[in-house]
Chain A
C-alpha cells in the first residue's frame, strides 16, 4: 500500500500563510487550476514545502521543464496506444455538456500530470544527492514560459475523497486496492463527477493495469522520465541535509517523494487511455495548453 507520509494533506481551502502563498505560486507557475495530491501531501511538511518550492520554482518556469513534460506526455500516449483501448461505451450516455466537461477535465490532467512527474523526479534527484547533468546554466540563457492559468482550462473540481454515495465509495476503494494507494488521486475524484463513466471506464482499465504489458510500459516510462530530469538546466538547491536543518524527517519525505514517482507514470498512462477514447493519438501527443515564451506573453498583454 502506497501511504503518502504521516502528515495530513493540506487542501486548498485549508491552506493559509506560506502554504497558501505557495499554492498560488504553483498554480501560476505550473499553469494549472488546482493543487494535486503531491503538493497537498508535501504541504503537510510545513518547513519542507516552501523550501522545496523555492528551490524548484526557477526550474519549473523554464521552457526546458515544459518541453520535458511535453516529451513525457507524448511518450505516455505512445505507450497507451500500444495497450488495449478502453472503448468506454458509457460515454454515449453522457449529455452534450457532460461530455464537453469530461473532455476538458481529461485535458487538464493530460497537461498537468506529466509536469508533476518531471517535477517529482527532479525533487527526488535532488534528495538522492544527484543533480542535472547539464545543470548550472546561467539564468539569462534560459527561456521562461508565460505564467497564469490557460483561459479554457477546466477547474480542478472533484468529489470528496470520502464520498457519501455508496457506489462511488466502493469504486474508490477498488481503485485504491488495485493500485495500492492510500489516498485516491485528484484525477479519479474528478472523473467521479460522472460516476457512470468512471465506473464503466475503471471496469475496462482494471485488467489492463494488472497486466504485465502495462507494468513494463510504466517501468520503461519511469526510466525515460528520470533521464529527462537529468537534462534540466538548473541544479535544485535541496538536499536531505537541508531538510534535517529545517527539522523535517528527511527519510520520510524522500520515501513519500519516491512513492509519487512510482505512482505517476501509471496514472499518466491511464489518463492517456481515457483520452484515447475521445481523441486521436496524433492530437494527444501535442500539449493541450501550449505555453508561449514569457517575454512574448508580456509584450502581447496576456494576463
Chain B
C-alpha cells in the first residue's frame, strides 16, 4: 500500500476544537497502533493487513502529526496525546483496546497503561521511549525554535531522511523514507513537526516510573536489538519493572523493527494478542 492509498483510507474524528485522522480496518477486538516521531499512521502499513485479519485495527495520527490537526496553540506532549487517545476511544465507543506502540507512541502507551488502565487490554511497546531514554539529540536540535528559520521544509526533509536511515538495519529505499515524512514536506508540516519535537519531555516518562510495577495488562516488549536511538537496556529495565512483561529481542532490526522485520513482528503481536506464548528464541 502506498502512502496516498493509506491517506485516502483515513477517517476523521473531531475532539473538541481539534481533529485527528485515523485508519480503521478489520473487525474483532480493537488494536490501536500508536506511531512515534517523526512519522504518522503509515508507519504501520506493513503490519496492518496481517493484524486486520483477526482484529479491528485503528492507527491514529497523533495530534500535530501526519494528517491530524497541525494548527497552532495546543499541547502536543505525550501526556496530552494519551488524553487524546482516551477521548477518541470514548468518541468511537471503544471501552478497551489492545495497545501497540512505538517510540514516543510507546510513551503515550505507558501513560495509558498507568493512568488510564481501564482502557488497556494488552500492552505491546516497541523500542519505546521510557525513563530518561529520550529525547535523542537529533530531535532536541530539531525542536529548537530557530530551526523554523534555519531550515526550509525541503532542507528539513533531507536532514530527517539522513537521520531516519540510522533507524533501519538495512538501508531503506527513498520511497519508504519519503512516505514516512510526506506530511512534513510543507512549511506547515515542518513547523508542526518542530512544535512536536519541542514538546518532547522526559519528565512525562520519569514521573510514571513508580507506577510501572502496577501495570496489570499483559505486556510484550519488542525491541529491534541493534537500535541506536533507544538502546535495548531500556527494554530490559522495562521488563524488570512491569510485572510479567516479556521482552523479545528482534534480530537484524534497529529502531524501525516493524519495517525491518515486518513478518516476524506481526507474528509476535498476533500470537500475543491471542494470548499465546510468544516465540522466545530471542527473548531476554
Contacts and interface: CB of A to CB of B under 8 A. Distances in A.
Interface of A: 11-14, 16, 33-34, 93-98, 100-101, 149, 151-160, 193, 303
A96 B17 contact: no
B9 A157 contact: no
Given A13-B149, A97-B12, A155 B188 contact: yes
B71 A33 contact: yes
Given A13-B190, A157-B189, A193-B186, 11 more contacts: A13-B148, A13-B149, A33-B71, A95-B9, A98-B8, A98-B67, A100-B12, A155-B71, A155-B192, A157-B188, A160-B153
Is chain B's binding surface mostly helix, strand, loop or mixed? mixed
B19 interface: yes
Contact of A12 (B19, B67, B187): B187
A85 B52 CA distance: 41
A169 to B, nearest CB: 15
Nearest to A157: B188
A33 B188 CA distance: 10
B73 interface: yes
Is chain A's binding surface mostly helix, strand, loop or mixed? loop
Nearest to B22: A97
B128 interface: no
B11 A95 contact: yes
Contacts, number: 67
Given A12-B187, A97-B10, A157 B70 contact: yes
A96 B10 CA distance: 6
Q: Which of A13, A34, A94 has the most CB of B within 10 A?
A: A13
Given A152-B17, A155-B70, A160-B154, A97 B11 contact: yes
A301 to B, nearest CB: 15
Contacts of A12: 187
A14 B189 contact: no
A20 to B, nearest CB: 9
17 contacts: A33-B72, A95-B8, A97-B7, A97-B21, A97-B67, A98-B7, A98-B8, A101-B12, A149-B71, A149-B73, A155-B188, A157-B70, A157-B186, A157-B187, A157-B188, A158-B187, A159-B186
Q: Which of B11, B72, B186 has the most CB of A within 10 A?
A: B186
Contacts of A95: 7-11
Interface in B42-94: 67, 70-73
B152 interface: yes
Contacts of A11: 187
Interface in B176-201: 185-192
Nearest to B152: A13
Contacts of A14: 149
A198 to B, nearest CB: 14
A34 B73 CA distance: 14
Contacts of B10: 95-98
Nearest to B8: A95
A50 B19 CA distance: 35
A156 B188 contact: yes
A98 B22 CA distance: 11
A295 B22 CA distance: 39
A94 B70 CA distance: 20
Q: Which of A34, A149, A160 has the most CB of B within 10 A?
A: A160
A157 B8 CA distance: 18
